[in-house]
Amino acid sequence: MNEPLIELRAVKKVFTTEEVETHVLSDVDLAIERGEYVSIAGPSGCGKSTLLSILGLLDTPTAGEYRFDGRGLDLLSPRELARVRNQQIGFIFQSFNLIGDLTVADNVALPLLYRNVPAAERRAAVDEALARVEMAHRAKHYPSQLSGGQQQRVAVARAIAGKPSILLADEPTGNLDSKNGAIVMQLIRDLHAGGATVCMVTHDPRYAEHADRTIQLFDGQLVDAVHEPRKLESVS
């Protein structure tokens, strides 16, 4: 039997100040299979973004075990964790996080540059990623010359250019109007249909329903998981 792509076992996250200890995640057990589309839902402040940050190696659990692609990550050095994060995880953020003084093409190429991908291979990967999100005609533009929806499509291109093992999306429609939000969600669905593994945090139940499985968090605990793939014709 194949191991899950990602597995969390009894993961906890506690933030401590001089006077207060805040338990953000409590004994979270979670497995994400290769090719699966998982949404993480729950009320504001329940720990969704913290869980996604741990999944993306942007944060570390206070306790518990994290296994990625069959490997326990507990003993990896910060440099090794950064390599896993850069090479195997693609991020799509609510705020786009594009660099204003870089062109669209250069924004998409940046993670590949950090990975020391040769220039010719880098250009080919950027061209392919921009074509997939229908933004090739904007390659030489700057983020300020794009609409919010276009910026998010560029952010998706940046996330997929390196062909990561998993896409992590944190409220990817949060700064978009309904029309552009629907376009971005359809793009994510298309990527999943093409074989991508996706894990998305969303507050919008319409978009959570597009996943194969919805994980419900409440006060830092996994309280429910719905395993019903949705057969929706379009995002609306």
CATH label of the domain that carries residue 86 = 3.40.50.300
Overall domain count for the chain? 1
Domain that holds residue 203: 6-226
80-89 pLDDT per residue, tens: 999 999 999 9
| Gap between the Cα atoms of 118 and 34, Å rounded | 28
Q: What pLDDT score does 226 carry? A: 57
| Gap between the Cα atoms of 36 and 59, Å rounded | 23
161-215 pLDDT per residue, tens: 999 999 999 999 888 888 888 898 999 999 999 899 999 998 878 888 889 999 8
What does pTM read for this prediction?
0.87
- Mean pLDDT in residue range 16-36: 91
Question: 10 Å Cβ neighbour count for 12?
Answer: 15
147: tokens are 């609409």
Whether 52 is in a domain gets the answer yes
Q: Is 218 left (phi over 0), alpha (psi -120 to 50) or beta?
A: beta
10-24, 52-66, 93-107 — which is least confidently predicted?
10-24
Whether 1 is in a domain gets the answer no
- What is the H or E stretch that residue 55 is in? helix 48-55
Q: What pLDDT score does 74 carry? A: 83
Q: Order of strands, edge to edge, in the sheet holding 21-32? A: 21-32, 6-16, 63-68, 71-72
The answer on pLDDT for 236 being more than 80 is no
